[in-house]
């Protein structure tokens, strides 16, 4: 501590961890976590709960120019409901878009909803299912839910891959001298790189 005693203690939210470079996960951030969150230089927060974001947290986000994307998934919802699958898909689209990085994903405890979103990201990254489950269980602990694991296992990422290919295509632009991705809507295989 310095002579004046004004050194800040950096306290991460509970269940905080790095998922990938510039992707983080945690439980719900409290005001005592704000100094720590400042060190991450966040651009985006993905909030997976239906409850309104507290005013104090919203003011912190405004002061740091952090965007909030809220995907209201009830804590005890059966994850096989189509609404939840679509919501997770939309949250993944925000998560994989590097323009939103650095990004923090959180729900209340940073266990179930956050674990499901991270598990679906891992499937997109082609992790083996046993490693995806091991990571989920590490954060959920004794409160691990079989329904969550089944949801992750059955989550279909083919649609998301198609969306990702279209994002990549857009990033490459339409200038005839640039390399760009070519694919057809019916073909969900990897796009080919070609000079045009």
CATH number, position 63:
3.90.190.10
What's the domain count of the chain?
A: 1
Residue 54 pLDDT? 93
Domain assignment present for 109: yes
Query: What is the pTM for the complete model shown?
Result: 0.77
Q: Mind listing the pLDDT tens digit for each residue in 98-115?
A: 889 999 999 988 888 898
Domain assignment present for 32: yes
Q: Mind listing the pLDDT tens digit for each residue in 86-100?
A: 888 889 989 988 889
Q: Mind listing the pLDDT tens digit for each residue in 144-176?
A: 788 888 888 888 777 666 666 655 555 544 444
> Which one from 49, 107, 116, 120 is the annotated catalytic residue?
107
The answer, yes or no, to whether residue 196 has pLDDT greater than 70, is no
- Residues 128/129/135/140 CA torsion (nearest 10 deg): 180
Residue 141 pLDDT? 82
Domain assignment present for 65: yes
Burial label, 176 (beta-carbon count in 10 A; 0-12, 13-18, 19+)? exposed
Q: Is 107 designated active site?
A: yes
Averaged pLDDT, 62-74? 91
User: Which segments of 29-66 are extended strands (E)?
Assistant: 44-47
Domain assignment present for 6: no
Domain assignment present for 52: yes
């Amino acid at each position: 501590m310095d002579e004046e005693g004004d050194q800040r203690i950096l306290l991460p939210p509970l269940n905080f961890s790095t998922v990938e470079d510039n992707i983080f996960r945690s439980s719900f951030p409290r005001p005592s976590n704000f100094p720590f969150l400042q060190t991450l230089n966040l651009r985006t927060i993905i909030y997976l709960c239906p409850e309104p974001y507290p005013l104090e947290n919203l003011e912190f986000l405004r002061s740091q120019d952090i965007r909030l994307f809220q995907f209201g998934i009830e804590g005890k919802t059966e994850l096989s409901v189509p609404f939840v699958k679509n919501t997770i898909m939309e949250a993944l689209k925000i998560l994989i878009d590097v323009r939103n990085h650095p990004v923090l994903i959180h729900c209340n405890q940073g266990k179930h909803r956050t674990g499901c979103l991270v598990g679906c990201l891992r499937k997109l990254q082609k992790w083996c299912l046993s490693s995806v489950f091991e990571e989920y269980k590490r954060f959920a602990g004794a409160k691990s839910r079989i329904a969550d694991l089944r949801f992750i296992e059955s989550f279909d990422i083919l649609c998301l891959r198609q969306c990702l290919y279209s994002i990549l295509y857009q990033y490459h632009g339409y200038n005839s001298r640039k390399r760009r991705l070519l694919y057809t809507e019916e073909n969900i295989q990897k796009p080919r790189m070609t000079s045009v």
